[in-house]
């Protein structure tokens, strides 16, 4: 959280500022700036430059500024505020209130107003010239063939592989569990054990889940969301959900229909 659904909303919101000229950037805490290039490089790359385009790859929001790019990562609790408005009032693990010390990055425009990142936990970051090639195909657009390549011959569990941003980008913990629940696939299975028919199921579940949850308004409104707790039950068959840690994240699944 935020996962690709939330970052896509941020992208649409940031698109409002395309065409504006950047007058300054502010970072209250320099540790929020990732990568080898420091504040001086960031300021000279952005000062008096135009915001040309806003793109998204996985959970990375990319601002194309002049002939450079600036990547924004939202970590667990990051929100984007453009012209004082945010497309998401509240994330699952944070509060809606904006505190001054939670403002991590501000880009001010010559035409007035600003684009800011608010991130209470501070696990996000920004990076000049982020390496986009490190990210796998975006989950919202991944083809069946690309999915096969991403999972092929891997001994990693299905859940860990779907979380691995280098293999497929954009999915976080909640979307992964909902996708696998809908596809009826056990998250603990090694990827290499998947049959072609199961890969078809997974590919269509990824597309369908992203579409449905986007319409509902976020990664946190899946069908199993309310059941992600002790004694939570499967909405399909009433079995008690199981829990374990996979890929470093708490995973919930149904022992009855996820095989
Ligand atoms: Zn079930």
Q: Write down the pLDDT at residue 95.
A: 63
Angle at which helix 196-216 crosses helix 4-14, to 10 degrees, equals 50
How many whole angstroms from 160 Cα to the centroid of ligand 1?
21
CA of 83 to the centre of ligand 1 (A): 44
How far apart are the CA of 240 and the centre of ligand 1, in A? 8
Residue 35 Cα to ligand 1 middle (Å): 44
Distance 181 CA to ligand 1 centre (A): 7
- How confident is the model at residue 100, as a pLDDT? 86
A 10 A CB-CB count for 93 gives 11
Q: pLDDT value at position 96? A: 65
* Res 87: pLDDT: 82
Residue 66 pLDDT: 96
Q: What is the pLDDT of residue 91?
A: 65
Cα(257) to ligand 1 centroid in Å equals 4
Residues of the chain with pLDDT under 50: none
CA–centroid distance, residue 189 to ligand 1 (Å): 16
Residues, beta carbon < 5 Å, ion ligand 1: 234, 236-237, 254, 256-257
Residues 36-75 pLDDT 10s? 899 999 999 999 999 999 999 999 999 999 999 999 999 9
Which residues are within 8 A (CB) of 133 and not within 5 positions of it... i.e. 6 or more apart? none
CB 58 within 8 A of CB 137: no
List of domains in the chain: 4-133 (3.20.190.10), 136-253 (1.10.8.50)
The DSSP annotation for 73-131 comes to E-TTT-EEEETTB-S-S--TTS-SPPPGGGEEEEEEETTS-EEEEE-SS---EEEES--
pTM of the predicted structure, to 2 decimals: 0.94
Interatomic CA distance for residues 100 and 199, integer angstroms: 46
- How close is the Cα of 184 to the center of ligand 1, in Å? 8
> Which DSSP letter does residue 58 get?
T
């Amino acid at each position: 959280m935020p996962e690709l659904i939330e970052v896509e909303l941020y992208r649409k919101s940031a698109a409002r500022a395309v065409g504006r000229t950047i007058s300054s950037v502010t970072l209250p805490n320099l540790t929020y700036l990732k990568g080898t290039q420091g504040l001086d490089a960031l300021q000279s790359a952005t000062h008096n430059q135009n915001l040309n385009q806003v793109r998204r790859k996985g959970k990375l929001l990319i601002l194309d500024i002049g002939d450079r790019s600036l990547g924004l990562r939202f970590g667990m609790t990051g929100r984007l505020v453009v012209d004082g408005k945010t497309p998401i009032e509240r994330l699952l693990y944070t509060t809606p209130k904006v505190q001054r010390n939670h403002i991590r990055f501000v880009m001010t425009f010559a035409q007035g107003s600003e684009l800011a990142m608010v991130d209470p936990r501070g696990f996000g970051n920004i990076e000049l010239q982020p390496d986009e090639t490190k990210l796998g195909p975006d989950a919202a657009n991944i083809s069946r063939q690309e999915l096969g390549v991403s999972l092929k011959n891997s001994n990693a569990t299905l859940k860990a592989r779907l979380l691995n941003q280098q293999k497929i980008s954009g999915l976080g913990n909640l979307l992964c569990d909902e996708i696998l629940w809908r596809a009826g696939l056990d998250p603990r299975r090694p990827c290499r054990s998947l049959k072609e028919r199961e890969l078809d199921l997974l590919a269509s579940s990824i597309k369908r889940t992203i579409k449905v949850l986007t319409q509902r308004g976020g990664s946190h409104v899946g069908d199993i969301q309310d059941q992600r707790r002790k004694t939570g039950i499967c909405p399909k068959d009433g079995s008690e959900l199981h829990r374990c840690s996979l890929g470093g994240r708490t995973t919930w699944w149904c022992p009855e229909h996820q095989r």
